[in-house]
Amino acid sequence: MGSHRDVFPDVPALKSRLKEKRDYRIRIRYRSAFATIVSPHGGYIEEGTSALARACAGPDLNFFDFQGLRTNDPQELHVTSTRFRDPELMKMLAASELAVSIHGMGDEDDMTIWLGGLNKELKESMLKALLANGFLVDPDSPRHRGESNLNFVNMAKQKGVQIELPNNLLKTMFVGPRKFAPTGRCIKTTPIFDKFVKAVRQVVHAEKRRLKKLNASNQ
């Protein structure tokens, strides 16, 4: 997520001017799940985020992936999170307790993950889990804080967490230079990729158990 200006003010404007399956593709898995995992700038836009979000969603969580398919100037398909509105995503978020969005932030930092979003408990748990798995994490980042109510990640019932990954870290998660395959072929990933996915999934499932217990004790 760089500091460039978006070419398109919102998703409907992008869809009206570009061609689906040629310029962009949307992958959705709605599983009536507790949480929704989103890569709003997937494909070639923030390369590597599609594969990460898909793996974090696994077989049981909701998954929304907007993939930029253009290799030339893929950043032109970037729509900022406070204006990123897709009808299917909005439906999923309205029915979800939590949301997690996965972004690539370019080369703004060396290896440090930036955590944002308005769900403070989830953010704190994510911080602990990522640190425990050997990642460097800044929970008080200078930018990309994801604290606007207009950010889609905060539109789940209990709001959500925004995860920003620097390019230098993303590179260590994949074998070779390719982090996205438009054909849908599996990209080879490293144990660092697996560690990240495991941490995110553990946190989401632990939060589900915590809220379930809380609801039971309040009844």
pTM of the model: 0.94
Q: Which residues pair with 99 in a beta bridge?
A: 36, 160
Per-residue pLDDT tens digits for 165-174: 999 999 999 9
Structural domain harbouring 103:
11-218
Residue 197: inside a domain, yes or no? yes
As for how many domains the chain has, the answer is 1
Residue 1: inside a domain, yes or no? no
Residue 6: inside a domain, yes or no? no
Residue 5: inside a domain, yes or no? no
User: Can you give the CATH number for the domain in which 71 is found?
Assistant: 3.40.630.100
Please, is 31 exposed, middle or buried when counting C-beta atoms within 10 Å of its C-beta (0-12, 13-18, 19+)? middle
Q: Which residues pair with 164 in a beta bridge?
A: 103, 114
Residue 26: inside a domain, yes or no? yes
Which of 90, 94, 70, 53 has its CA nearest to residue 14? 70
Per-residue pLDDT tens digits for 115-148: 999 999 999 999 999 999 999 999 988 788 888 9
Q: How confident is the model at residue 1 (pLDDT cuts 50, 70, 90)?
A: very low
CA atoms within 13 A of residue 29's CA, in its CB half-sphere? 19
Residue 3: inside a domain, yes or no? no
Per-residue pLDDT tens digits for 32-47: 999 999 999 999 999 9
